[in-house]
A and B are shown apart, each in its own frame.
Chain A
């Protein structure tokens, strides 16, 4: 298994790749190469640029600049079809199968060379042949709808093989698979590698990466950090490369007096989503929630706000046991939640700033006839505009006209207007510029000093570290531990979030 791949020739070679999205740097001078018959893993935090790189290789997006070489010759990959022609295929986390078509057809539907009439018997035979090459037993007549995720992935692998793919990109293929299914998948991956296919493997579970990869490349903040043969790296080394930041470009949390206990959460559990969630949060405290995307942080936040039921566990708020069944109830008790997805869930884009801010508490703005008192609405909006420095020509401007950072401020205003005792902020600084980011951090400090308890959910690890008094780390729906700011270091938190630490330093105060 552990072959020396150094003699193998380069198949794919990417150099000096740059990509900006609306001024945000997704990739900066990135490098990546792939040799014949190797499994080359690409790892990095959320936002490190892995997905952008794949999209460029697959022709979904074009790089702003940079060179892509296939077999030593520069190529342009304009769209997914041209990637297919070059022999590149990708398997995504969520397989892209056609649920109503059967397995055999899913394998061959992208083949343009099979004529316009489908010869079903031959299609079934050919599909069985491809699957048996992969050592897979699967009923080719069954609709793809009825397959497990793992089985759908094998159908996609079979499709790639039948298209003579030489390069197979696997984007977090194991994230929803059981241990047994992962074992099966790796067996297939190894036999593909041994038959000369080159595999770009993206994974979050580092043990898996160590098990399957021949080489490991780390990206951080859109830059290439390191590429090393597997036998020359350790998990600790990889984690160090993933987080190793030198610059502290973040606002630090002010020292604030921790107030009285506000809320205790005990054994909160929701089937298949999260379990064993236990924490206390105090007035004037910022409790950070760290973990990878999909680790259940947002689900816990939503549950505290009364969206989606929990199966067991309880919440004690200001000394009383609470059952929160709806956001209205949560708001009544003083719990507010600002979503991570402001476009879809947070704001009504084609509506004025003013109306967006007063929407959750519209009862307050009704006169005796039940009509809206626009004057008092405007007063509220105007005061938030000053308080949070929302840059706009008028509070009657549509939210969609604002920049991301100002939209974020409108969304926060909307919840501050409810005078929350507990404010849950989900990714409050994602996709906004540095200056506004600092303003948001400032605002968090202000609120904490006024005695508001804050739960800060963020994928931005340095932000969580700088802004939180304590940090709760989640992984795959489980609470892995709570750390004090003093003892929390990026590498420790990342190791815990990735499930790499052996001893969890539980610290319940």
Chain B
């Protein structure tokens, strides 16, 4: 035990545990569901996890600062609709521009959240519950309940979902999953190596010390919401690619999936700890579970949500019990003076 503790931090232990848990669940479902490992199912998971995973990255940044972003499901829906509508009216918009447009729309909505939370000092849970409803109502009013359908969209966007970067015996590495991996790697790098990322941890870890140290705490919190909005915009684009049909309810409930993913992935709701790797694994776990429960006819639709909810509670309970216990084992490490010959410090 001591040896394990000496070489890994609690986050690494939890992430390894999560990988193990995913494997156990996959094995379990493979015995329950016939033909579980068929390529179509795996490919579908890879595209649906892409949407949740992108949202979880943004949610992680916000969580690190001790905040929540509940509006990202609505942002995803609004962006998917607006981008779909532009592509319907102007089919000539190039792919890159439509992605940029999606991220821009998302950042705009994220900026509103950020201003209210960081500069207006409105608690994030209140702010984003408000904007969750406002953005959704905007979508309802703006669209007049007219859905975007695949036959209105240019071919490239409808087909993009099926485009694989490479494939192996029917198992495809699709573009959407590729985007998720790329975004995850970029943000994992930022969190680990960039000053912005380190300040996110610092601010969530000890807000009053951050203030005394003179960190630009408000700007950092604003930027976290801005990025979360932008990523939700990107997720909106991916949602459009994945479904092609966008109705006013598009993306509803995705904020909860993303929160479930980051909490299960070990991002602390008390701020200051968690990684993108954890959020990615959490997304994978939640998504595999959702899709597997969907396929297993024994479980009703209503139970799926309940099981998801129970998992979140379980993850938090494990966090407090196991990780808290591990942390205590670390605690009480003193220091020694090099000139002290005898090492009698506990």
Residues in chain A within 8 A of chain B (CB atoms)? 60, 79-81, 84, 96-101, 105, 109-110, 115-118, 120, 132, 135-139, 142-143, 145-148, 150-151, 154, 180-181, 184, 187-188
Binary contact readout B318-346 vs A (1 if CB under 8 angstroms, 0 otherwise): 00000000010011111111111000110
Q: How far is the CA of A345 from the CA of B9 in the complex (A)?
A: 39
Judge if B297 is at the interface, Cβ distance under 8 Å: no
Indicate if the CB atoms of B206 and A98 lie closer than 8 Å: yes
Judge if B188 is at the interface, Cβ distance under 8 Å: no
Please name 17 pairs of A and B residues whose Cβ atoms are closer than 8 Å in the assembled complex, sorted by A: A97-B206, A97-B209, A98-B205, A98-B206, A98-B210, A101-B198, A109-B213, A116-B195, A117-B193, A118-B192, A118-B195, A135-B338, A136-B335, A139-B333, A143-B9, A147-B333, A180-B345
Q: How far is the CA of A97 from the CA of B202 in the complex (A)?
A: 9
Please give me the residue from chain A that is nearest to B273 by CB atom: A100
Chain A nearest Cβ from B206, distance in angstroms: 5
Indicate if the CB atoms of B339 and A148 lie closer than 8 Å: no
- Among B199, B206, B210, find the residue whose CB has the most chain A CB atoms closer than 10 A: B206
Judge if B272 is at the interface, Cβ distance under 8 Å: yes
B213: chain A residues within 8 A (beta carbon): 80, 96, 109-110
Contact A146 to B331, CB < 8 A, known contacts A96-B212, A109-B213, A135-B339: yes
B209: chain A residues within 8 A (beta carbon): 96-98
Judge if B208 is at the interface, Cβ distance under 8 Å: yes
Contact A150 to B337, CB < 8 A, known contacts A99-B205, A100-B205: no
Chain B nearest Cβ from A405, distance in angstroms: 30
Contact of A96 among B196, B208, B334, B338 (CB under 8 A): B208
Give the residues from 189 to 220 in chain B that come closer than 8 angstroms, CB to CB, to chain A: 192-196, 198-199, 201-202, 204-206, 208-210, 212-214
Chain B nearest Cβ from A213, distance in angstroms: 21
Number of residues in B with C-beta < 8 Å to the partner?
A: 35
Please give me the residue from chain A that is nearest to B346 by CB atom: A148
Q: Contacts A80-B214, A118-B194 given; 11 further ones with Cβ under 8 A?
A: A60-B212, A80-B213, A99-B205, A99-B206, A101-B202, A101-B205, A115-B195, A137-B335, A145-B331, A148-B334, A188-B337
Binary contact readout B177-195 vs A (1 if CB under 8 angstroms, 0 otherwise): 0000000000000001111
Q: How far is the CA of A61 from the CA of B188 in the complex (A)?
A: 39
Contact A142 to B272, CB < 8 A, known contacts A110-B213, A135-B338: no
B334: chain A residues within 8 A (beta carbon): 147-148, 150-151, 181
A187: chain B residues within 8 A (beta carbon): 337, 339
Contact of B333 among A98, A116, A136, A146 (CB under 8 A): A146
Contact of A146 among B206, B208, B327 (CB under 8 A): B327
Q: How far is the CA of A110 from the CA of B192 in the complex (A)?
A: 17
Q: How far is the CA of A151 from the CA of B339 in the complex (A)?
A: 16
Binary contact readout B73-98 vs A (1 if CB under 8 angstroms, 0 otherwise): 00000000000000000000000000
Q: How far is the CA of A137 from the CA of B341 in the complex (A)?
A: 12
Indicate if the CB atoms of B201 and A101 lie closer than 8 Å: yes
Contact of A142 among B205, B212, B333, B337 (CB under 8 A): B333
Chain A nearest Cβ from B198, distance in angstroms: 6
Chain A nearest Cβ from B321, distance in angstroms: 17
A135: chain B residues within 8 A (beta carbon): 337-339
Contact of A151 among B9, B201, B327, B335 (CB under 8 A): B335
Indicate if the CB atoms of B333 and A184 lie closer than 8 Å: no
Q: How far is the CA of A181 from the CA of B195 in the complex (A)?
A: 34
A60: chain B residues within 8 A (beta carbon): 212
Indicate if the CB atoms of A80 and B212 lie closer than 8 Å: yes
Q: How far is the CA of A118 from the CA of B200 in the complex (A)?
A: 14
Chain B nearest Cβ from A354, distance in angstroms: 31
Chain B nearest Cβ from A464, distance in angstroms: 33
Residues in chain B within 8 A of chain A (CB atoms)? 9, 192-196, 198-199, 201-202, 204-206, 208-210, 212-214, 272-273, 327, 330-340, 344-345
Contact A138 to B335, CB < 8 A, known contacts A84-B214, A145-B327, A145-B330: yes
Q: How far is the CA of A97 from the CA of B209 in the complex (A)?
A: 7
Contact A136 to B214, CB < 8 A, known contacts A96-B206, A101-B205: no
Ranked 4 nearest A-B pairs via Cβ: A146-B330, A81-B214, A96-B209, A100-B272
B331: chain A residues within 8 A (beta carbon): 145-146
Chain A nearest Cβ from B61, distance in angstroms: 15
Please give me the residue from chain B that is nearest to A156 by CB atom: B209
Contact A154 to B335, CB < 8 A, known contacts A116-B195, A117-B194: yes
Q: How far is the CA of A100 from the CA of B194 in the complex (A)?
A: 16
Contact A109 to B202, CB < 8 A, known contacts A98-B272, A136-B338, A145-B330: yes
Please give me the residue from chain B that is nearest to A147 by CB atom: B333
Q: How far is the CA of A110 from the CA of B211 in the complex (A)?
A: 11
Q: How far is the CA of A84 from the CA of B214 in the complex (A)?
A: 10
Contact of A98 among B193, B202, B336, B337 (CB under 8 A): B202
Contact of A143 among B199, B330, B339 (CB under 8 A): B330
Q: How far is the CA of A135 from the CA of B273 in the complex (A)?
A: 30
Chain A nearest Cβ from B337, distance in angstroms: 5
Please give me the residue from chain B that is nearest to A96 by CB atom: B209
Q: How far is the CA of A79 from the CA of B338 in the complex (A)?
A: 36
Indicate if the CB atoms of A151 and B206 lie closer than 8 Å: no
Indicate if the CB atoms of A137 and B337 lie closer than 8 Å: yes
A188: chain B residues within 8 A (beta carbon): 337
B195: chain A residues within 8 A (beta carbon): 115-118
Indicate if the CB atoms of A100 and B330 lie closer than 8 Å: no
A98: chain B residues within 8 A (beta carbon): 201-202, 205-206, 209-210, 272
Chain B nearest Cβ from A84, distance in angstroms: 7
Contact A136 to B337, CB < 8 A, known contacts A100-B272, A117-B193: yes
Indicate if the CB atoms of B205 and A116 lie closer than 8 Å: no
Q: How far is the CA of A132 from the CA of B339 in the complex (A)?
A: 10
Q: How far is the CA of A364 from the CA of B273 in the complex (A)?
A: 50
B199: chain A residues within 8 A (beta carbon): 109
A151: chain B residues within 8 A (beta carbon): 333-335
Q: How far is the CA of A180 from the CA of B339 in the complex (A)?
A: 14
A84: chain B residues within 8 A (beta carbon): 214
B340: chain A residues within 8 A (beta carbon): 184
Please give me the residue from chain B that is nearest to A131 by CB atom: B335
- Among A100, A115, A138, find the residue whose CB has the most chain B CB atoms closer than 10 A: A100
Indicate if the CB atoms of A100 and B339 lie closer than 8 Å: no
B333: chain A residues within 8 A (beta carbon): 139, 142, 146-148, 151
Q: How far is the CA of A258 from the CA of B340 in the complex (A)?
A: 58
- Among A98, A101, A154, A180, find the residue whose CB has the most chain B CB atoms closer than 10 A: A98
Contact A137 to B336, CB < 8 A, known contacts A105-B198, A117-B194: yes
Indicate if the CB atoms of A116 and B194 lie closer than 8 Å: yes
Indicate if the CB atoms of A142 and B330 lie closer than 8 Å: yes
B9: chain A residues within 8 A (beta carbon): 143
Q: How far is the CA of A118 from the CA of B345 in the complex (A)?
A: 32
A109: chain B residues within 8 A (beta carbon): 198-199, 202, 213
Please give me the residue from chain B that is nearest to A84 by CB atom: B214
Chain A nearest Cβ from B124, distance in angstroms: 19
Chain B nearest Cβ from A123, distance in angstroms: 10
Please give me the residue from chain A that is nearest to B211 by CB atom: A80
Q: How far is the CA of A143 from the CA of B330 in the complex (A)?
A: 9
